[in-house]
Chain A
Amino acid sequence: MRCGVDTGGTFTDVVGADGRVVKVLSTPDDPGRAVREGLAGLEPSLLAHGTTVATNALLERRGARVALVANRGFADVIEIARQDRPSLYDLWADRPEPLVPRELRLEVDGRLDASGREMEPVGEPPGVPEGVEAIAVCLLHADLEPAHEKAVAAALPDLDVSCSHEVSPEFREYERTVTTVVNAYLRPRCRAYLRDLHGVAAEVLVMTSAGGLIPTGDAADLPVALLLSGPAGGVVAGSAAATAAGFEGAITFDMGGTSTDVCLVQGGVPEPAAGRRAGGFPIRLPSLDIHTIGAGGGSIARIDPGGALVVGPESAGAEPGPVCYGRGGTRPTVTDADLVLGRVPAGAVFPGLGPLDVEAARSALDEVGASAEGVVAVVDAAMERALRAVSVERGVDPSDLALVAFGGAGPLHACALAEALGMAAVVVPPRAGVLSAVGLLCAPRQRPLVRSWPAPTDHDGLEEALAELGGQARAAVGEGAEVTTSVDCRYAGQSHELTVAAVADFPDEHERRNGYARQGAPVEVVALRATARTPPAVRPDDLPAVDRRPATGPCVVAEPDCTIWIPEGWKADVGPDGSFVVRRA
């Protein structure tokens, strides 16, 4: 049987192709233990896995000791970054500490010019200091000509080397360097983890940030592609649920304890991005365009000295958690407010928790002088901004979109948000509390490739190059894979690119996104993209139906893994795939 397994902060969720759901406590010291425990007795033929190993190693700074090889005179690019600081006014807001300390930034002679031609031959690579576990090589203009990086790598044969032209072959040296360094930093740990998973299933695939599955061997080479492994699963299943409910466009809304992820879906496909920030670093690798804000059910509410109600960014997290959990939390959170308002039934049972303490939640809110309605309204306003950022700000009208709600708190807040943005409906997929695992089970095998285009204004040979790149992507995934190609374009003189299917589509897309097009102005191509994917073997609607009945608000629908709040004046119907489709009555 095929299984999807999502490792989360608190629970590891298993969903089988027969619809069974297993929830076990995560084991952060050895995440594979919970995976094996959750799969016990299932004998899976295929395991599709969403892992937090890469993300946690980066956030907790538990990666390898990495040395960086850069051009002479450029070793500190990794520290100078893009020069800006994270906060204008806060003296103590630091940029993240670079992953390579100064003494491990090594320099090599040699230089390419802006078109990739050699100006100075590559020199002898420097000696690698003792104790280095992995190496990142990032040389200027290597996206156009990899020869110098290859020469350096060849001279370091016994070491674990990540080259920038392989990890992120696009221009802008800081982003390419940091992406390559993060890859090197994660490799030893991720490789060991993935090796340990051998044998838990006949075949093991891992989810990437781009929403597709890759074999463990590829994942071990490119662990920087796994930073959104878990959240991507939820987006894949969420967009499938929107399609099944008849919506081509949607926003997925995954509200958890400490953060909330939203992602725009258009034409049934989650929006891709060329990169995303993680741990304060710009990771430039094909990814789903998931927008994260630091607010969720655990966000703490307080009144500030000017008399405004502030919710977050402080969070009670899983420990001690909201006041109502009775585990030592004393400051009121969004979850406490939801409970006081009756959106979470007082008798609700959360795995691993005793009965919820409504009175404690109420008095904690009273103590800080915040109303439960107010806390929910403020956190909803923050969510609304995130939803606008991925729709209105990109020229997409939310009135045609469904809001696909999941995660612990998503279905509690979704209707108010859909109302505020004038969205068409709220969709709550079946198994909304373990949706990431469902998405893993139902994700395609996929490989995105990208390559710089060296002559931006000269488009001769573009079609052939795209076809060649598409061929490489197909070869990586297997015969029968569908290939889509696209190009990153801009007007000559601009420096942000838009990704379009063909150069001819660029002016219209520019008009839609930026409000104007410049008819007749020369269009530059800076990068080519190709993605190969094979359709998933299991689709969400292949899973057995869950028991759901239409409901009319105001009411709470309590399911084993999720709680749904349907406000007064709203009505929930059950769609063909078992999703609740909630609309204004």
Chain B
Amino acid sequence: MTPAELQILISRLTGVAEEMGAVLRRAAFSPNIKERADCSAALFTPEGELLVQAEHIPVHLGSMPASVQAALDVLGPAIRPGEQVVLNDPFAGGTHLNDLTLVAPCFVDGRLVGWAANRAHHADVGGMAPGSIPAAATEIHQEGLRIPPVLLTDEVVAVLCANSRTPEERRGDLDAQRGANAVGVDRLAAFAAAPLDEITGYGERRMRAALAEIEDGTWTFEDQIDSCGPEPEQQRPARIVVTLTVGGDEATFDFTGTDHQRPGNVNAVEAVTVSAVSFAIRSAADPTIPANGGAMRPVRVVAPPGSIVAARPPVAVGAGNVEVSSRVADVCLGALAAACPGRVGAANQGTMNNTLIGGEGWVYYETVAGGQGGRPGRAGMSGVQTGMTNTQNTPVEALERSFGMRVRRYTLRAGSGGAGRWPGGDGVERELELLERATVSLITERRSSRPWGLEGGEPGAPGENWLLPGGDESRAERLPDKCTINVQAGDVVRVLTPGGGGYGRV
């Protein structure tokens, strides 16, 4: 293939993934997908290697190949044109139960050309608290409906809807996901004769060229998850450690030494860990490397089975996707900061500040922005999504017109960014007043540990969670980093998100 033919093939296929993403976002029902764009779309080779993606959410994209692989393993030979596979089981191709992935084969004249897949975060898939990431869960069965790779039929949709607190929204979102894959399959068929493996070969060459630029060596970095749940016995921090070895044009991220999985939901399955590694290496080595399966061939990930970065059933994993993934990215970036100085910033806020609220007939899910770490030569941005997520907020006016809540305050948290030659960005202060009785779950991190500085910069301020009963400042009580509480009309939940670490001595 000539350089031009290769580029044109990539461009056209990326256009297909973008079109899938556009259909999904346009046709979806829930604010979570439409307003926040908590969804992703991609195309895969017949063997299940990622070809192209529409750039949405880092944690989705690095982990979707596992979904396609699981669909292949379970249904591969039996699947027929027009059928789609649905799954959310973290232990069979998923990440956490909210993320429903649909995988559809593309056949041309009886030959499998590739797969179209998309993933969307569904605001509620059942379980013991609205939002399906209950802070108190210790095993996956408490988190919601678990769907191994099965054909998507009306019956499966019915089961799913029956298990959700917001069935109509689920039905609408699933329609949109199905439609997005149908578009992807239709468009991918035009590439039946194209040499798709050239694309993954190209990704591999790009990653190898970038890795060859990094000096050979070994670097170790460790950090922690502050707590594994709301209970007193869950307050012991869990250690995550990575040893990065770069040799020639290959790299290994070895998590040996990371703590064993814990009772609680702060456990990540291996696919999530791989996606965090893939995020970190691309942002440090070369952000323009295409995120296809080839790019990860020279990168080895060693995640000890049964550790919090490669959890095994039946442990709960709701926060693995959002919180453990953030810390895995942090330790990888920490190691890379030593390996390629000048290309990595100080730690970002390091949590998604997951806020899940359920009232009568509605469920609201939001992740709250924070501070970006200071960067070599530039201060960190304030009030911004960093690391493994990039979802938009729900506008205050949209939120107040849709849910039984009011936003009392949504502003930057002055002075929360770590000091440094290039300071960390500030976190955010957000106060939600409930207008009716509701259940609130907070799944947050960096409430005791702090986002680290780099090259002598100071750490960012840790986050804080508060309940103001009746909105009364004088009765304010500190909430733990992970909790599920029942609140009354007039109560206010205040979340202060962490600032980013500073870069360089002041």
Residues of A within 8 A of B (CB): 73-77, 79-85, 87-95, 102, 113-114, 140-141, 143, 171-175, 303-311, 369-371, 373-375, 377-378, 381-382, 384-385, 388-389, 392-393, 456, 491, 493-496, 513-516, 518
Q: In the complex, A393→B37 CA distance in Å?
A: 17
Are the C-beta atoms of A393 and B11 separated by less than 8 Å?
A: no
Q: In the complex, A525→B361 CA distance in Å?
A: 21
B157 CB to nearest chain A CB (Å): 14
Output the nearest chain B residue to A452 by Cβ-Cβ distance.
Answer: B397
A73's partner among B14, B210, B283, B408 (CB-CB below 8 A) is B408
The residue in B179, B279, B375, B395 that gathers the most chain A C-beta atoms within 10 A of its C-beta is: B395
Are the C-beta atoms of B398 and A309 separated by less than 8 Å?
A: no
Known: A306-B205, A388-B15, A493-B172. A91 touches B375 (CB 8 A): yes
Which B residues from 405 to 453 make CB contacts under 8 A with A? 406, 408-412, 428, 431
A507 CB to nearest chain B CB (Å): 13
B403 CB to nearest chain A CB (Å): 9
Q: Is the interface of B mostly helix, strand, loop or mixed?
A: helix
Listed by A's residue number, 26 A-B pairs whose Cβ atoms lie within 8 Å are A74-B411, A76-B382, A77-B410, A80-B393, A80-B411, A88-B279, A114-B397, A114-B406, A172-B398, A305-B209, A306-B205, A309-B4, A371-B4, A378-B4, A381-B7, A381-B11, A388-B19, A389-B22, A393-B18, A456-B401, A493-B169, A494-B34, A494-B172, A495-B402, A513-B26, A514-B179
Counting residue pairs across A and B whose Cβ atoms lie within 8 Å, the total is 209
A86 CB to nearest chain B CB (Å): 9
Are the C-beta atoms of B23 and A514 separated by less than 8 Å?
A: yes
Q: Which residues on B sit within 8 Å (CB–CB) of A83?
A: 368-369, 383-385, 391-393
Q: Which residues on B sit within 8 Å (CB–CB) of A514?
A: 23, 26-27, 176, 179
B385 CB to nearest chain A CB (Å): 5
Known: A89-B282, A114-B406, A374-B2. A496 touches B26 (CB 8 A): yes
Output the nearest chain A residue to B175 by Cβ-Cβ distance.
Answer: A516
Q: In the complex, A378→B14 CA distance in Å?
A: 14
Residues of B within 8 A of A (CB): 2-8, 10-12, 14-15, 18-19, 22-23, 25-31, 34-35, 37, 55, 58, 168-169, 172, 175-176, 179, 182-183, 202-203, 205-206, 209-210, 279, 282-283, 287-288, 343-345, 368-369, 372, 375, 378, 381-386, 390-393, 395-398, 400-402, 406, 408-412, 428, 431
A76's partner among B2, B372, B411 (CB-CB below 8 A) is B411
Q: Which residues on A sit within 8 Å (CB–CB) of B27?
A: 514-516
Q: Which residues on A sit within 8 Å (CB–CB) of B19?
A: 388-389, 392-393
B393's partner among A76, A82, A310, A369 (CB-CB below 8 A) is A82
Q: Which 10 A-B pairs have the closest CB atoms?
A: A374-B4, A73-B409, A309-B3, A514-B27, A80-B383, A306-B206, A89-B287, A114-B400, A305-B209, A90-B287
A84's partner among B3, B385, B408 (CB-CB below 8 A) is B385
Q: In the complex, A388→B3 CA distance in Å?
A: 23
Add 8 more A-B contacts to A81-B383, A84-B385, A496-B26 (CB < 8 A). A74-B411, A79-B383, A307-B6, A309-B3, A377-B4, A381-B11, A494-B29, A518-B172
Q: Is the interface of A mostly helix, strand, loop or mixed?
A: loop
Are the C-beta atoms of A91 and B345 separated by less than 8 Å?
A: yes
Known: A140-B397, A308-B10. A92 touches B375 (CB 8 A): yes
A172 CB to nearest chain B CB (Å): 4
Q: In the complex, A90→B384 CA distance in Å?
A: 14
Q: Which residues on A sit within 8 Å (CB–CB) of B210?
A: 305
Are the C-beta atoms of A493 and B29 separated by less than 8 Å?
A: yes
Are the C-beta atoms of B2 and A371 separated by less than 8 Å?
A: yes
Q: In the complex, A370→B343 CA distance in Å?
A: 30
Are the C-beta atoms of B175 and A113 separated by less than 8 Å?
A: no
Q: Which residues on A sit within 8 Å (CB–CB) of B183?
A: 515
Are the C-beta atoms of A113 and B400 separated by less than 8 Å?
A: yes
